[in-house]
Amino acid sequence: MVEKKDDTIDKEDHTVKITSIHIIAAIITGVITAAISLGLISGIPKNDLLGGFIGIVILYAMGKLCDKLYGKQEGFSKWLWDGIVPFAFAWFVVWTILLNYGMFL
């Protein structure tokens, strides 16, 4: 009975770590994609589509990294709510804020 409780705590701990990794990666991705969308990176023209593609590639890479660090998720629903949704929300918020106020950078 005690082992089951420890196992539940361990799974919750992994959930928090996976979500945190995805949110941190999303904030960094938002900055990178906003810089690409605004044309702030020399050698890369202004391109929103490229920024979106880079965001999806980074999301996939973070999913693979978390699978390697913490093992496979139990199902798609767990992967969706622990990784994809937090990443997408944080990425879109940072990207939108920086696109709207990027002219002041």
- pLDDT tens digits, one per residue of 54-82: 999 999 999 888 888 887 767 777 778 88
- Are 55 and 63 contacting, i.e. CB atoms less than 8 angstroms apart? no
Written as six digits, the tokens of 34 are 């906003």
**Rounded to whole angstroms, how far apart are CA atoms 19 and 25?**
10
Question: Are 27 and 95 a contacting pair, CB within 8 Å?
Answer: no
Per-residue pLDDT band at 2 (split at 50, 70, 90): very low
pLDDT at 94: 94
- Specify the pLDDT at position 27: 95
Helices 85-101 + 2-38 axis angle, to 10: 30
Among 6-10, 45-49, 63-67, name the one with the lowest average pLDDT.
6-10
pLDDT score for 23: 95
Question: What integer pLDDT is reported at residue 72 of this predicted model?
Answer: 75
Q: What is residue 28's predicted lDDT score, i.e. its pLDDT?
A: 95
Please tell me the distance from the alpha carbon of residue 15 to that of residue 72, in angstroms, as a whole number: 12
Tokens at 100, concatenated: 């709207």
pTM recorded for the entire structure: 0.81
